[in-house]
Structure 1
Amino acid sequence: MKQDIHPKSYRFVVFKDMSNGTAFLSRSTAASKETITWEDGNEYPLIKLEISNTSHPFYTGKNVLVDTAGRIDKFKKKYAKK
């Protein structure tokens, strides 16, 4: 195995799912200019996520089908067997 290929700057970071407000503390090298005070009273860098395992349809079991401007109907009509 190669030596010294992993970053040395791992630190605690709070990841926040912006779609449902769920946050979790983990270690990361991701950079952030924002900070947040965590449950333990300490301040940590904040990384905002659009989606996480708490809001993703695959993990929640809730499939959400968004149809904008009838795209699904157009697709079904175009590829329907005749």
Structure 2
Amino acid sequence: MKPGIHPAYRPVVFRDKIGGLTFRTRSTLTADRTTAWEDGATYPVVDVEISSASHPFYTGQSRVMDTAGRVERFHQRYGTRHG
């Protein structure tokens, strides 16, 4: 590998906004915020929208999406085809 062209690879804490799960791993992502970890060191923290703690596939909980009225809006916009 060429020296000086790769981003810094360092420990980063990822935090799930919904599930509250936090885990430390190594990444090239950067973050403006930091958090204190269990070992007493401070690491950059990256908030994620979904992780295994909040994903419906892993938790077994399904979420209801607002799909009511889609077919009706389609028929209203484009009409119905009979024949």
TM-score range, shorter chain: 0.7 to 0.9
The answer on 1:7 being equivalent to 2:6 is: yes
Cα deviation digits, residues 30-75 of structure 1 (max 9, x gap): 01111000011110000011111110112212111132xxxx3324
Moved over 3 A (4+): 75-79
Q: Any conservation in 1 of the 2:20–2:53 contact (CA below 8 Å)?
A: no
TM-score of the pair, normalised by structure 1: 0.73
* Separation of aligned partners in 2, 1:9 and 1:26: 13
Taking the TM superposition and a 5 Å limit, the aligned residue runs for 1:30-45 are: 30-45=29-44
Aligned residues: 73
Q: What does 1:1-82 correspond to in 2, within 5 Å?
A: 3-4=1-2, 7=6, 9-67=8-66, 72-75=67-70
The one-letter amino acid of 2:69's match is K
Corresponding letter in the other structure for 2:64: L
Report the AA paired with residue 32 of structure 2. K
The amino acid of 1:9's aligned partner reads: A
Structure 1: tracts of 5 or more residues without a match: none
TM-score normalised per structure 2: 0.72
